[in-house]
A and B are shown apart, each in its own frame.
Chain A
């Protein structure tokens, strides 16, 4: 298995532009999580899906952020418009059920820089 695949690995964009981050979870996993990591705040859970349905989006910082999971093998996190304070590493993770006692598998992350 190729693991959780995120794209792009790096993204540099100008303030005000739309940014779309992509994630392909591990085949068969039915829970998907988006995290953001910064030096100031560490790792924060933004949103998670179970069976393609958003379960908890209370971590999404504001309306500029949106996430979708149109099918079991693909999810996007969109920021529109982007701001410099959105600069961070964004991780996607998947697991076999949010309540499964096993671990979550994280992708390699997307490093976003908004200038």
Chain B
């Protein structure tokens, strides 16, 4: 039931910015966009989330388009430890979807030296 589309893989040079795109064209007005990542053999880790405004924290920046149909996660200075699968998720907000996080296949980001 994933409502997002992401490229299956991307790579990035260490020290450069990694820009991970996500399409969520069916997003509803009150649904948040969440980003998580999963490093091999570990549980998913929360990165950032947003509704309509761009957001920034110590890990990343999230850019959401004005029509909210797509977003981009930016890791400003990628390191080797950022190699992981990155999931873009639209969080259910009503009724039976309340609280659900639908994880799609995500994007495998590989940071190379």
Q: Which residues of A contact B (CB under 8 A)?
A: 4, 31, 33, 35, 42-45, 48, 50, 55-56, 58, 91, 93, 98-99, 101-109
Contact = CB atoms under 8 A, between A and B. Distances in A.
Contact of A48 (B44, B45, B46, B99): B99
For chain B, give the interface size range: 20 to 34
Interface of B: 32, 34, 36, 42-47, 49, 51, 87, 93, 96, 98-105
Given A42-B104, A45-B101, A103 B34 contact: yes
A interface, over-half SS: strand
Given A42-B103, A56-B99, A105 B46 contact: yes
B15 to A, nearest CB: 27
A91 B44 contact: yes
A55 B44 CA distance: 22
Contacts of A56: 96, 98-100
Contacts of A35: 103
B104 to A, nearest CB: 7
B105 A99 contact: no
